A = this chain, B = another copy of it.
Amino acid sequence: MNPKILVVEDERSIRNFISTILTANSFDVLEAHNGQDAYSMITSHCPDLVVLDLGLPDMDGMKIIKQVRAWSSLPIVVVSARVHERDKVEALDAGADDYMTKPFGTSELLARLRTALRHTHVGVPGTEERGVFRAGGLSVDFDKRRVLVDGEDTHLTLNEYRIVAFLGRFAGKVLTYDTIMREVWGPSAGGNNQILRVNMANIRRKLEKNPAAPEYIFTEVGVGYRMREAD
């Protein structure tokens, strides 16, 4: 599965140039030559990264960045002829992940794309709240907001579900008590984990066959909880 990259650039020669480089380095390439097409292709084709020229005929590239950032953290690498510092700052603060000024070397472009792509893989075993998490007889359906054990629906309360979903998103990782507290009870929560312990007891009574010997959610004493890894 090669990364899918959308190249947004109005000048055909440059667009072809970039596309050729990317294809030669085993990326899958999509092309757009104006802002309208670019945005609709982002929403419909879900590229892994966007190479964006700021100077487009129909709309400002800045507008695209802002529109995308309203709902997605999709990596955006700006490629622009504008060398002014003000332009760079504006684009980066709007949410661009990198800013290269023309002309640029091909190997630097590739390196910066790799860097931008790396960021998405950093914290993302399953960062998105979509799809279904499965581990043994347990399955967490993020879309339907339901947790099943051996096909049976477990009737979790709001907070109980939040805890399980959070652990499921980062299955395999230890999440500290404070992290979970802040995620579920807000940023100011922390210090006293009593509530979390009570909730965990209730969760285990519903999920585990034998709550004293958990099969899905494990305790790391002094640290936090850990969800069993996905199958």
Contact = CB atoms under 8 A, between A and B. Distances in A.
Contacts of A222: 157-158
Nearest to A92: B111
B97 A115 contact: yes
Interface in A79-127: 85-86, 88-89, 92-93, 96-98, 105, 107-108, 110-112, 114-115, 119, 122-127
A67 interface: no
28 contacts: A73-B123, A85-B105, A85-B107, A88-B108, A88-B111, A89-B107, A89-B110, A92-B111, A92-B112, A92-B114, A93-B114, A98-B115, A122-B124, A123-B123, A123-B124, A125-B170, A125-B175, A125-B179, A125-B183, A126-B175, A126-B179, A144-B172, A144-B174, A145-B223, A157-B221, A157-B222, A158-B222, A158-B223
Interface residues of A, number: 46
One complex includes copies of this chain to the number of: 2
A73 to B, nearest CB: 5
Interface string A31-65: 00000000000000000000000000000000000
